Chain A
Amino acid sequence: MKFSVILSISKTHLISRRKQTVVAALGVTFGIGAYIIMMSFMTGLNGLLDGLVLNRTPHVHLYTEEVPSVNQPIHKVEKYKDQTKFVYSVKPKRKRPQIHNALPILDMLKKHPKVAGITPQVRAQGFYLAGQTQLNASILGVDVLKEADLYNLRDYIVEGSVLDLAANDKGIIIGKGAAEKLSLTVGDLVQIGTIEGEVFPLKIVGFYQSGLADIDDIQSYVNLKTAQRIIGESADYITDLNVKLLDMKNAPAMAKDLGKQFDVASVDIQTANAQFDSGTSIRNMISYAVSIALLIVAGFGIYNILNMLIYEKMNDIAILKATGFSGKDVRRIFISQAVIIGFFGGLFGLVLGYLVSWLISTVPFESEALPTLKTMPVNFETSFYFIGMIFAMVSTFLAGYLPSKKAERIDPVEIIRGQ
């Protein structure tokens, strides 16, 4: 038998009790709508928070650690080879935290198939000098355009731009906090004093605001060359290499490999931000838990309405069976009603979810932490809409399954005799 016959019967049932149908569908609509809204907003927020830390953090960070040498001179003396040696008060040797052979390593990693990009950095310590004021400064020499591409640097520059810095060898993008303390504005000169006692005047081409006061009061960006000049080192002097991978999951393994291969200290993003990851997954879990709870409620609504419908439709079921419809046909009639309710309820749920998400995304949202963000973060990912629809269909199918099974088993003789 053609399925259209079954569909036309379900359609008539649904239309002739419009109110119940609409109530059942609305249950699904609200469930799915809430799911879409929750997911869009929660993952939007997650994205924002990830952006705060994860996007700015390299997947693998290579650097040199200042640790005291394990092999002290006494260990090399043949005479004491088999004796226990105690060396007290071992200190690290004062040396620059340079990565040896940084440039060859850089070239090599650029070609690595798992690497999305790599940026060299030069860290220099110094002071901001303005009149009598002297503030600690952490000057970061970077390849600024690359840094902007890989770590969203642009999002944190509140005045000026990365291009201004790239074009100016004597330029500096200074932390907003430091600038305020020194009462400096874009275009002013700031004196950078080094530990060695030299002074470099640099022109402020922009302000940088990360939202973390500790960083904004101290850190500033200059070009790689500028930083090397400030500390009086040559062009092959690099203190840090920041690697961004194509797939973040490979970070721990890569960090281990690279650290061993190049004999440098290395840390991966998961280790550096362990607490962050768990925050994200907990928020995701909450969104799913709430959505599933809503869908279960909607499912019970459908279950109830179908049960009632079947109770009212006992006569119809008996007639259909007496005139030759099989139990399977009857089951299909009722399950298709559930699925039709799920389909249309779900569809409207998607529309509702989209509209409300869109409304939320227009709500003004100013954050110190993300200066470029003006409205609420909302993630309009299409996969939520797919999953929402599948959710709607599956949950209504399950809700319709038991009542339909019941309808399938109804004995027409009992009903007819009961008249």
Chain B
Amino acid sequence: MIPALEAKNINKYFREPVNFHVLKDISLHIDPGEFTSIMGKSGCGKSTLLYILSTMDTDYEGDLFINGQNVSQLNTDDHAHIRNESIGFVFQFHYLLSEFSVLENVMLPAKKLGKKSFEEIEHDAMEKLRLLGIDDQALKLSSRISGGQKQRVAIARSLINDPVIIMGDEPTGNLDSKNSDIVFNIFQELSHEQGLSLLIVTHDDDFAHRTDRIITMEDGRIIS
């Protein structure tokens, strides 16, 4: 079975303000359909690792495979395409385009991919919004909805191109426990029923313990 994501001996240094070895020899792999969480103290390098795994950060040593393809040597345009097609990313802060409607925000990555007609994309986007229970907000400007709703829009957006893996950097960090539960259930459903892989950074113990596997980090290393 080809892992959805595999990292081999990843090392990263920050050179400013002082030389700092932030990720030390990180190796990990995520199987298709696996729901994994990453835990660790603040500042241990979780976000940094996630930016590398999502191909946004290319300044590192080591090899990264997504769906079996080595992407460490590809150029930025190819990385953009991989992010568009195979990776969904959910930020801690709800990163939406504020001048666009909720529906347009969800549709944009699919329009960029250009594999479906406008009608299909619109239909799929509405499906994803319904899945997250916010289809009634579809036509609102994305700056006019609540924080929890924004977070769910971001998740809907990450799902629109049916990616191989979804990465989240504390996606429930700003949510109350009820909304946090809703998001967890959606993630679990996606991984168990649709075979979607998930890699979620979290500080929430309850959340982490309900996932299939916990990766613990300390000082730039994976310790378990």
Contacts and interface: CB of A to CB of B under 8 A. Distances in A.
Nearest to A4: B111
B97 interface: yes
A319 B99 contact: no
Interface string A202-231: 000000000000000000000000000000
Contact of A319 (B92, B95, B104, B114): B95
A315 B97 CA distance: 8
Contacts of B84: 323-325
B114 A416 contact: no
Given A13-B99, A318-B95, A413-B51, A324 B111 contact: no
Interface string B80-107: 1111110001011101111110001000
A246 B109 CA distance: 62
Looking at chain A's contact residues, the main secondary structure is helix
Given A323-B157, A324-B112, A324-B113, A16 B99 contact: yes
B204 interface: no
Interface in B12-59: 47, 51, 54, 56-57
Contacts, number: 77
B76 interface: yes
Nearest to B89: A322
Interface residues of B, number: 32
A10 to B, nearest CB: 11
A126 interface: no
A1 interface: yes
Nearest to A13: B99
B9 to A, nearest CB: 21
Given A322-B56, A324-B85, A417-B47, A316 B97 contact: yes
Contacts of B93: 419
Nearest to A412: B56
A86 B96 CA distance: 103
Contact of B112 (A13, A325, A412): A325
A16 B142 CA distance: 13
B111 A416 contact: no
B157 to A, nearest CB: 7
B83 to A, nearest CB: 4
A12 interface: yes
Interface residues of A, number: 26
Contact of B95 (A315, A325, A328): A315
A329 B112 contact: yes
Contacts of B98: 316
Contacts of A320: 97, 108
Given A324-B80, A324-B85, A413-B56, A5 B99 contact: no
A256 B111 CA distance: 70
A2 interface: yes
B99 A326 contact: no
Nearest to A316: B97
B77 interface: yes
Contacts of B76: 326-327
Contacts of B54: 322
B114 A1 contact: yes
Contacts of A316: 97-99
A219 to B, nearest CB: 74
A318 B113 CA distance: 17
Nearest to B85: A324
B96 A319 contact: yes
Interface of B: 47, 51, 54, 56-57, 76-77, 80-85, 89, 91-93, 95-100, 104, 108-109, 111-114, 157, 161
Given A9-B108, A325-B84, 6 more contacts: A2-B114, A5-B114, A318-B95, A323-B112, A328-B77, A413-B56
